[in-house]
Amino acid sequence: MQIIAQAFTLIFVFILILILIRLKVDLGISLLVSSFVLAIIYTFNPVETILIFIRGATNVETLRILEIVVSAIALSGFMERNGYLSKMTDSSMMVLSDPRLVFLVVPALIGLLPMPAGALVSAIMINDFANRVNLNREVRTFVNYWFRHIWEYSWPLYQGIILESVILGATVQGIVYSQVHLTFIAIILGFIFGFKRINLQISVELKRDIRKGLLGILNGLWPILLVIVFSLGTGVDISLTLPISLLLTLIVSRLKFRDIKTAFKNAFSPSLLLSIIGVMIFKEVLEDTGAVQTFYKVSLTYNLPPITLVILIPFITGLVTGVTVAFVGISYPVLLPFLKASEIGVFGLSSLAYASGMAGIMLSPLHLCLVFSSKYFEADLSKVYKFLYKPSTLIFTAQLITYHLPFLWSVIHV
């Protein structure tokens, strides 16, 4: 098959995935259907296609990522049902000197836990206080939405980070170290574009007790801190530290059976698990058929700058789907040859792809966090976008600048 024909085949499959998602077909099913089409076109062999599917669904990396994601979501469920979230929120208010910080800190604390439409959870928690001080609805929506997602650039519990590490064949620690600066940039931009817009119409005084507040935050946050300290501090794989933290939380919390059952039911969400399996099968099909090399060969043949594809494909996928797992799972396998061949190492280009994809995610009208929180606050979405597009663009621009400083990437190892 000629290189141009291969490229058009891959573009067709890529468009097919996006069309199916826009038609509200489940992400996992969309990936499975598209993977089957791609495998059949390349192999013309249904038996070989089935074998590729089996390998993709049962290999060690697939089972590892499934275990990590299930453990992370179950841990979030245990913490939520044991009152750890409200405990952290209440305690944070005892530490803060400025009432406006409540609108930044509460979503940020909730953002430490990977949960679907998590911005809605933090929206519910700050709404009472926002009403008391008569905070503008669009401002509260933007601040809540933005600070809920500051960790998604580098926090090791997020599915996007875990999936990125699996596809790149890199450690979670390596991904975190190469992208943690994006979280800091997101925090700074949140202060610049969000904090200054928080004008309290009614003055409020918080009841401060710093010692009690800090102890309360630690008491609510310890299961996550346990994972972070052991995973990043000692190098123990997160697939081991998460189940340990999960078990300790279960023992300490003494939750009712009903709550445990609900947490595990959410963790074993068929849609989420099928999405991850779909991503891993899609990756397997691309690798086994050789389709993964297509864009790389086109780039070499026609002297196309790889950086263009690395920026555009994640951004478009993120914008169209509004789902982090989707933009990583669809774009990274296709871009893998570019990322592996990068002169400054895999992390420089992969972090640029991630920043581009996240810009698409944050601006996507299909992003559930944006949809739910704006509806909950009864905000005008067009006005929220006026606040949103500048920091979303700037964080990507900052990463584009960072990418051109190769000495930064030479110290980060896979």
CA atoms within 13 A on the CB side of 248: 12
The pLDDT tens digits for 288-323 are 888 878 888 888 788 888 888 899 999 988 988 888
Work out the burial of residue 202: count CB atoms within 10 Å of its CB; fewer than 13 is exposed, 13-18 middle, 19 or more buried: exposed
pLDDT on residue 206: 65
pLDDT on residue 344: 66
Q: What is the mean pLDDT of residues 52-72?
A: 90
d(CA 242, CA 166): 16
Closest CA to 393 of 324, 321, 308, 319: 319
- pLDDT-derived band of residue 408, with 50, 70 and 90 as boundaries? low
User: Mapping DSSP to helix (H, G, I), strand (E, B) and coil, where does residue 234 land?
Assistant: coil
pLDDT at 407 over 70: no
In contact, 28 and 277? CB cutoff 8 Å: yes
The pair of structure tokens assigned to 11 is 């573009």
Q: What is the DSSP letter of 231?
A: I
Q: What one-character-per-residue DSSP string does 4-16 give? A: HHHHHHHHHHHHH
Work out the burial of residue 33: count CB atoms within 10 Å of its CB; fewer than 13 is exposed, 13-18 middle, 19 or more buried: middle
Q: What is the DSSP letter of 98?
A: S
Q: For residues 190 and 230, which has the higher predicted lDDT (pLDDT)? A: 190
Q: For residues 177 and 206, which has the higher predicted lDDT (pLDDT)? A: 177
pLDDT on residue 138: 93
Closest CA to 350 of 99, 153, 60, 206: 153
Closest CA to 237 of 246, 251, 227: 227
The pLDDT mean for the chain works out to 86
Scan for tokens 């789907």, then name that residue.
321
pLDDT on residue 395: 96
pLDDT on residue 409: 59
pLDDT on residue 33: 95
The pLDDT tens digits for 364-383 are 987 888 888 888 888 998 89
In contact, 206 and 94? CB cutoff 8 Å: yes
> Angle at Cα 226 formed by Cα 222 and Cα 229, nearest 5°?
125
- pLDDT-derived band of residue 405, with 50, 70 and 90 as boundaries? confident
pLDDT at 202 over 60: no
pLDDT at 238 over 60: yes
- pLDDT-derived band of residue 277, with 50, 70 and 90 as boundaries? very high
User: pTM of whole model > 0.75?
Assistant: yes
Question: What percentage of the chain carries pLDDT values higher than 90?
Answer: 31
The pLDDT tens digits for 116-130 are 667 877 887 788 778
pLDDT on residue 304: 81
Work out the burial of residue 386: count CB atoms within 10 Å of its CB; fewer than 13 is exposed, 13-18 middle, 19 or more buried: exposed
- pLDDT-derived band of residue 102, with 50, 70 and 90 as boundaries? confident
CA 244 to chain centre: 23
Q: What is the mean pLDDT of residues 247-272?
A: 88
The pair of structure tokens assigned to 167 is 């596809």
